[in-house]
Amino acid sequence: VATQFKNSLTSLIEILMSKEPSYIRCIKPNDNKEPGKFDDFLIRHQVKYLGLMEHLRVRRAGFAYRRKYELFLQRYKCLCPATWPNWHGTAAEGVERLIKHIGYKPEEYKLGRTKIFIRFPKTLFATEDAFEYRKQLL
């Protein structure tokens, strides 16, 4: 029974690790659950805490996708011989090498201090398709 439970848990963890989670951010308007009442201080605190203003700025600039360098490199490093199987530099340098190898055009992305920002969904979809193809070869 213990082995079956352990195998089941391992399988669940593998499934969860292969997915990219998305989150729905909810803002609580007041502490008393009263309809039509908004506590400005509470709402401002939640907006700041959740990072919604940064999120809105990025979306307004037209970037459909953003990901920390480490996560982007970990996922797509197999697409570039220089980054596969192990990259021995900083994650930012690895991502820069990776996107040059993939052939991103300058208008398709921006590199921030800690994240890559991809402007067009089609760019991300092409990268994901290449990743899926490469994964089958590996």
CATH number of the domain at 79, please: 3.30.70.1590
Say yes or no: 123 and 75 in one domain: yes
Range of the domain at 108: 65-137
Cis-peptide into 121, omega within 30 deg:
no
Q: Could you report the per-residue pLDDT of 13-25, keeping only the tens digit for each? A: 888 777 766 667 7
Say yes or no: 78 and 28 in one domain: no
Q: Residue 59 above 70 pLDDT?
A: no
Site of tokens 């996708």: 65
Q: How far apart are the first and last CA of the chain?
A: 34
pTM higher than 0.75 for the full model?
no
Say yes or no: 128 and 70 in one domain: yes
How many structural domains are present in the chain?
2
Q: Could you report the per-residue pLDDT of 86-125, keeping only the tens digit for each? A: 888 899 999 999 999 999 998 889 898 899 988 887 888 8
Say yes or no: 93 and 109 in one domain: yes
Q: Residue 50 above 80 pLDDT?
A: yes
pLDDT of residue 4: 93
* Contact status, residue 123 vs residue 107, Cβ threshold 8 Å: no
- Helix/strand/coil (H, E, C) string of 80-102? CCCCCCCCCCCHHHHHHHHHHHH
pLDDT of residue 5: 92
C-alpha 124/C-alpha 65 separation (Å) is 8
Record the tokens describing residue 117, joined without a space: 């920002």
Query: With pLDDT > 90 as the criterion, what percentage of the chain qualifies?
Result: 25
Q: Residue 60 above 70 pLDDT?
A: no
Say yes or no: 106 and 56 in one domain: no
What single letter denotes the amino acid at residue 109?
A: Y
Say yes or no: 99 and 43 in one domain: no
